[in-house]
A and B are shown apart, each in its own frame.
Chain A
Amino acid sequence: MWALFQENCRYVFRSRMVIMILVFSTLVHYSGLKLLNHLTLSIQNVVSVVGPNEAIYAAHFLQLFTSLSIAAVFGIWMAPYAHRGERSLLTHVLPLSKVKFSFCYVLCCVVLLLINELVLLGSFGVVFGFSSLAKGSFSLILAVKTFAFQTLCLEVLMLALALSSLILGQVTTVFLGGSSLFIMQVLGTFARFFKQGPEFSLLSPKGLLVFIYHKLPPVGDFIFDFMGVMKNGIVPVEHLILWMFWFIAFNLLFWFKVRYPIQARSTEA
């Protein structure tokens, strides 16, 4: 397992992904925070300046965008690399349990997301001063909780994309993944509205759709949950259970997929 992880890290490093993350992430976070630092808000003639306390929350939303990109790239291109086409034959005969592959990719993705988080904190420190990191209302515990929750969700996304990339190919996955995220976000908003709205019978088509939606990863509620965990470190338990369930499910599905590599799509597209 350790050898596989090392090898995967080498792949990530040599494919220049780490460099790209450092450049891309620094660019987004530093410029975003610098912009916020110079921002003054005027609401109903009340002028306020964006300080470190507000900026750290905004920075985490910026970080969400870069983390999402990292998980998507890793899931679509990096994780399926060894299992694609003729390369899969050599990967298959490696004498190790196939379940270790997905664990290894999950671990590798955590490292990349951690690098991104460190770039965010570094950029914040440079713009607002490192001392302001400790002073604000956003404590270290909240930072860890936010990172842990966000990582769990992004790992589910990464595994789903990796699986889709192996079955449907990379180009299809880019469009399918993007469309699914958009649809789930819209459905999430509707589902929130219907929480206060009428109850549907499970036997009706609408009721059935609502039931299925509530068993899927709660992508539509992610932003609200993310804000919740940043503010008070709490995520609804039912959402956390769903994310964990899908994390385990996608791990198992990935394992099942790489057990029989011949069925995997053999084109690079």
Chain B
Amino acid sequence: MTNNDFESVFKLKNVSIAYGFSKAIDSVSFELKKGQALGLIGANGAGKTTSIKALLGMLRVKSGEVSILGSSKCNPQVLRKLGFAPEEASPPEYLTAKEYLQFLAKFKKQDTLSSHQQIEEFLSWFELDPNKLIRKYSKGMRRRLILAQAFLGKPELIILDEPLNGLDPLMIQKLRDKLKAYRSQGTSILYSSHILSELENTCTDVVMMHRGSVIMSDSVDNLVRQFGSVEKAFATKVGGT
């Protein structure tokens, strides 16, 4: 459902990033439009996480252009409008889940009542113990908390980096439904994963990365029509390079 008339939510244009002498991504270009759910796929080390970090201004982009939510820099105004769940992250361990979400909600410019309601709803929806210190949380619970904070406020863009790591099948199903609900309300989603069957269920479009470059960019419908599934498309493209 790629529609060129849609407003661009973010755009990477010819972005290259190197860690020392090794190039992590090389002249990467892709775009997410309003209401789209874009799946970023690729093998380990393909450059998915580096692209996300470049997008969020965590890495200095030496060549190429990045624009996100109408700005060329990921400044506080932009960050207020997006939610991000990194692949590996450690929330402050001295807080409880409730305190952590309350702390984050203060920056989202929501009114106190609606943020309070949303926090209570998220704590129960993600099955989190509100009063337990995060340091006592299991890996799965931490993962759920990281996901919960990404949905906090009313983000225009949600970026999820390998969100299914450490989640049980029931939570995966719930997350899929939640993403669909958010997308129907106009939220755009960038979903990086190597679980391709999941992307097929959740995303409208796919960008395929391999060894730091974009090798294919198309809608999920087209890929399914052409190759039978996203998984087969990936195997054909990557296997063929």
Known: A260-B58, A262-B53, A262-B58. A93 touches B84 (CB 8 A): yes
Q: List residues 2-18 of chain A with CB under 8 A from any CB of chain B.
A: 3, 7, 10-11, 14-15
Measured CA separation A85–B87 after assembly (Å) = 13
Measured CA separation A261–B53 after assembly (Å) = 10
Q: Is the interface of B mostly helix, strand, loop or mixed?
A: loop
Which residues of the partner chain A approach B79 to less than 8 Å between Cβ atoms? 93-95
Known: A3-B103, A3-B106, A260-B59. A86 touches B92 (CB 8 A): no
Measured CA separation A7–B76 after assembly (Å) = 18
CB of B47 to closest CB in A, whole Å:
14
Measured CA separation A82–B90 after assembly (Å) = 9
Which residues of the partner chain B approach A260 to less than 8 Å between Cβ atoms? 57-60
Q: Are A93 and B82 in contact (CB under 8 A)?
A: yes
Interface residues on B, range: 20 to 34
B80: nearest chain-A partner, CB-CB: A95
Contact with A along B93-115 (1 / 0, CB 8 A): 01100010001101110000000
Q: Are B94 and A87 in contact (CB under 8 A)?
A: no
Q: Are B76 and A89 in contact (CB under 8 A)?
A: no
Q: Are A89 and B107 in contact (CB under 8 A)?
A: no
| Chain B CB within 8 A of A126 CB | no
Which residues of the partner chain B approach A15 to less than 8 Å between Cβ atoms? 94
Q: Is the interface of A mostly helix, strand, loop or mixed?
A: helix
| Chain B CB within 8 A of A92 CB | yes
Q: Are B58 and A96 in contact (CB under 8 A)?
A: no
Which residues of the partner chain B approach A259 to less than 8 Å between Cβ atoms? 57
Measured CA separation A93–B56 after assembly (Å) = 8
Which residues of the partner chain B approach A44 to less than 8 Å between Cβ atoms? none
Which residues of the partner chain A approach B168 to less than 8 Å between Cβ atoms? none
CB of B55 to closest CB in A, whole Å:
11
CB of B88 to closest CB in A, whole Å:
5
Q: Give the interface centre of A11, A96, A262 by most chain B CB atoms within 10 Å.
A: A262
Which residues of the partner chain A approach B185 to less than 8 Å between Cβ atoms? none
Q: Are A7 and B103 in contact (CB under 8 A)?
A: yes
| Chain A CB within 8 A of B86 CB | yes
Which residues of the partner chain A approach B78 to less than 8 Å between Cβ atoms? 95
CB of B106 to closest CB in A, whole Å:
4
A100: nearest chain-B partner, CB-CB: B76
| Chain B CB within 8 A of A90 CB | yes
Measured CA separation A262–B53 after assembly (Å) = 8
Which residues of the partner chain A approach B76 to less than 8 Å between Cβ atoms? 95-97
CB of B118 to closest CB in A, whole Å:
16
* Cβ-neighbour of A3 out of B77, B86, B90, B107 (below 8 A): B107
Measured CA separation A92–B52 after assembly (Å) = 13
Q: List residues 120-172 of chain B with CB under 8 A from any CB of chain A.
A: 146, 149
Q: Give the interface centre of A86, A87, A93 by most chain B CB atoms within 10 Å.
A: A93
Nearest 8 A/B pairs, CB to CB: A95-B79, A95-B80, A14-B94, A89-B86, A3-B106, A95-B76, A86-B88, A87-B90
Q: Can you spell out 16 A-B residue pairs with CB atoms less than 8 angstroms apart?
A: A3-B103, A3-B107, A10-B99, A87-B89, A89-B89, A90-B149, A92-B58, A93-B56, A94-B107, A95-B76, A95-B79, A95-B107, A95-B108, A260-B58, A260-B60, A262-B59
Binding site for A on B (CB under 8 A): 53, 56-60, 76-80, 82, 84, 86, 88-92, 94-95, 99, 103-104, 106-108, 146, 149
Binding site for B on A (CB under 8 A): 3, 7, 10-11, 14-15, 81-82, 85-87, 89-90, 92-97, 259-262
Besides the known contacts A10-B99, A90-B91, A260-B58, 7 further A-B residue pairs in the complex with CB atoms under 8 A apart: A89-B84, A89-B89, A90-B89, A90-B90, A93-B79, A95-B79, A262-B58
